[in-house]
């Protein structure tokens, strides 16, 4: 038996508190302090990783559209993709330091609602739905109130190159989902619940798409798409269905 340092009552060696006066043991205080410090460190790392996923692509995206106007489009795309991949990798590297603690207590690692053969049909349907919402917004919402949208659309180049197809349908969905529903998701879920994680990553997704100046055109329907992809990520527990849905969305946007 152990003796309480405060009241002198006897207690079991494994007890965390004195049964008489309720004073916590020194061992329990030490464990609580260690857990608190570990949680603070984990949150600081998550905030840093989240900042990396946003600031890197945002800065390079602004430079690509504001300071590289004369560069070829594929060079601008390549710069954006490269920095996004590097940002996602660095964020994942930071988050790996706390993988053990996160696996023990993360709130979004539980049972998934979407599994098996239904995952990818639902992903395809999600991509079609988000494209439909975007099309309706642009055709009947944005253009109805902003007359310059028609002029801006008419100024786009009519031809589509092989690089455009690869970048829009394949590379962009993989890179953007790895960044938003991958690295940013893993960082934000350590700081908030599932709903906030979905909305937060959707906001990041929309902001990164609106940095070329088309804020009123891009932000609303990109945010809706980000929420849909985030719900798919949350329901399936994997980023792969979100990539499929994003690819379907972009393919329809390119063809129609």
pLDDT tens per residue, range 142-152 = 766 665 544 44
What's the CA angle centered on 195, arms 197 and 103, to 5 degrees? 60
Asked if residue 58 is part of any domain, the answer here is yes
Residue 88: inside a domain, yes or no?
Answer: yes
pLDDT at residue number 241: 95
- How far is residue 39 from each of residues 34, 100, 107, 198, measured CA to CA in Å? 9, 12, 14, 22
For residue 4, being part of any structural domain is answered with no
Residue 162 located in a structural domain: yes
> Does any domain span residue 12?
no
In-domain check, residue 15 = no
Q: Give the domain range for residue 230.
A: 26-255
Question: pLDDT tens, 155-174?
Answer: 445 567 888 899 999 999 99
What does pTM read for this prediction?
A: 0.79
Whether 2 and 11 have beta carbons less than 8 Å apart is answered as yes
105 in any annotated domain = yes
Whether the Cβ atoms of residue 54 and residue 89 lie closer than 8 Å to each other: no
Compute the C-alpha angle 80/85/86, nearest 5°: 100
Number of structural domains (the chain) is: 1
Domain membership of residue 82 (yes or no) is yes
Cβ 226 vs Cβ 219: under 8 Å = no
């Amino acid at each position: 038996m152990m003796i309480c340092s405060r009241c002198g009552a006897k207690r079991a060696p494994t007890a965390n508190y004195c049964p008489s006066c309720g004073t916590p043991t020194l061992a329990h205080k030490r464990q609580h302090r260690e857990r608190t410090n570990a949680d603070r460190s984990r949150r600081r790392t998550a905030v840093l990783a989240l900042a990396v996923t946003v600031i890197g692509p945002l800065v390079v995206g602004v430079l690509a559209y504001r300071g590289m106007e004369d560069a070829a489009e594929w060079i601008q795309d390549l710069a954006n993709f490269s920095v996004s991949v590097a940002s996602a990798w660095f964020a994942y590297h930071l988050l790996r330091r706390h993988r053990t603690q996160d696996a023990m207590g993360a709130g979004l690692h539980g049972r998934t609602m979407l599994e098996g053969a239904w995952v990818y049909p639902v992903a395809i349907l999600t991509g079609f739905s988000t494209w439909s919402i975007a099309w309706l917004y642009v055709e009947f919402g944005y253009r109805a109130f902003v007359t310059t949208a028609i002029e801006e659309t008419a100024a786009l180049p009519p031809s589509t190159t092989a690089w455009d197809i690869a970048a829009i349908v394949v590379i962009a969905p993989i890179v953007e989902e790895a960044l938003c529903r991958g690295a940013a998701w893993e960082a934000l879920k350590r700081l908030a619940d599932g709903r906030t994680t979905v909305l937060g990553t959707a906001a990041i997704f929309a902001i990164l798409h609106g940095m070329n100046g088309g804020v009123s055109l891009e932000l609303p329907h990109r945010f809706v798409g980000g929420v849909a992809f985030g719900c798919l990520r949350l329901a399936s527990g994997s980023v792969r269905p979100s990539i499929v849905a994003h690819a379907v969305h972009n393919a329809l946007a390119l063809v129609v």
